[in-house]
Amino acid sequence: MHAFFTALEMDTSEYIDDYEGGLNYTDSYNDSSRSSYSDCDQEDRWLQVFQMVFLPLVYSLVFVLGLAGNGLMVTVLLRRKGSLRITEIYLLHLGLADLLFLSTFPFVVAKEAVGWVFGVFLCKLLSVLAHLNLLCGSLLLACISFDRYLAIVHAIPSVHNRRPRAVHLTCALLWTICLGLSVPEAVFTTVIDHPASGPACSYEGIEGSNWTLLSRSLTHLLGFFAPLAVMGYCYSAVVLTLCRSQRSLEKQGAVRLALLLTAVFCFCWLPYNLTKLLDTLVIVGPLAGLSCDSKGLLMQSLVVSESIGYMHCCLNPILYAFMGVRFRKELLRLLGKWRLCRVCLPAQYSSRTSFSEGLTATTNSKLI
């Protein structure tokens, strides 16, 4: 789904053939797909400058912030792994998935500067890791929303029907399925030496082109639209349930956060998925007759919306963990041991609950 590991083309005609210069792990255009863009040879200096200058800066910033946020979140959760709540187990797996994704960013920054110089093995490995994170991360977000739905709408307590062992098994099953769907990335990706632009990590042969279209269909469905549908339904039900309750203070905070979670997910990934869907229609044929100006605008939209989507891995720790009082206390305690922080949370925060804790608390308070 993401444009991953395509070489940044210095020659304009080659650049149009293989235009997605970000991390292209699913959409390296070869053989059948190139013909849709090969008739356009206009220069797009703005897009070249954006990819060569701005994108490395964006990826570097996302890497630093995401590594710090997800690293702290995983560290705090692992320190009390024996007492993790259901949502926190999903958060742990989500943090690990985001860290795997972030591990590919240094190679992307280097690729934007000097081209693909890391060989075939890393080309295949990083393609698998990126595709794995895309699917697994979105499905884990859907699992978190479904867990909140069970806890609030149906009042199913964690200690009974939602046992931690079952949640870990669910996460393991998700990882296995997503890994299986990512294996073809290793089969079809390789390093191809373009005469004008040098080596690029991309798909090879007609089988690779066929997998590109299948991969796009799967990632559109499993990586965005299905998780969005689950999140929309579950959080809508949670909001309606809380609005019928009598706890106005707890209700307002939980409702706002539920809406914020869905809105941020849409803001980060909806533009990219819509433009990627249009691009797929160009490749398949229904929109192949677009003018070169329209195709150029589509290229620009893909690159910009992709960079926005990558920022979501930085926001996950803030939205799902750092806003929780229990997590903040654990984090400050950890930083205090590292002699980096000697600050205690204000007393008034102790009476407030996080989204992951507060929604469960509303259930136990018989709000339903």
User: What is d(CA 322, CA 324) in angstroms, rounded to the nearest whole number?
Assistant: 5
What pLDDT was estimated at residue 343? 47
pLDDT for 301: 87
Distance in angstroms (rounded) separating the CA atoms of residues 64 and 249: 35
Q: Is 343 helix (H, G, I), strand (E, B) or coil?
A: coil
Q: Is the per-residue pLDDT at 351 higher than 60?
A: no
Torsion of CA 13, 14, 16, 19, to 10 degrees: -160
Tell me how far apart the alpha carbons of residues 171 and 145 are, in angstroms, rounded to a whole number. 14
Q: How many CB atoms lie within 10 A of CB 17?
A: 22
Q: How confident is the model at residue 94 (pLDDT cuts 50, 70, 90)?
A: very high
* Segments making up each domain of the chain, as ranges: 12-364
Q: Which residue has the higher pLDDT, 359 or 238?
A: 238
Does the structure show a pLDDT above 70 at 39? no
DSSP, res 162: S
Q: What are the pLDDT digits (tens) for 136-155?
A: 999 999 999 998 888 888 87
The pLDDT, as a whole number, for residue 74 is 92
In this structure, are residues 354 and 324 in contact, taking their beta carbons and an 8 Å threshold?
yes
Torsion of CA 262, 263, 264, 268, to 10 degrees: 110
From the list 77, 242, 69, 44, the residue with the least C-alpha distance to 148 is 242
CATH of domain 12-364: 1.20.1070.10
Checking if the pLDDT of 345 tops 50, the result is: no
Q: Which amino acid is at 183?
A: V
Question: What six digits make up the tokens of 260?
Answer: 């914020």
**289-304 residue pLDDT tens:** 777 777 888 888 888 8
Q: Are 300 and 3 in contact (CB under 8 A)?
A: no
Instruction: Give the pLDDT of residue 291.
Output: 76
Based on its alpha-carbon atoms, the radius of gyration of the chain, rounded to whole angstroms, reads 22
Structure tokens at 216: 């796009």
**More confident site: 206 or 96:** 96
Determine the average pLDDT of the residues in 10-23.
Answer: 35
pLDDT of 165: 84
Structure-token match 């620009």, residue found: 300
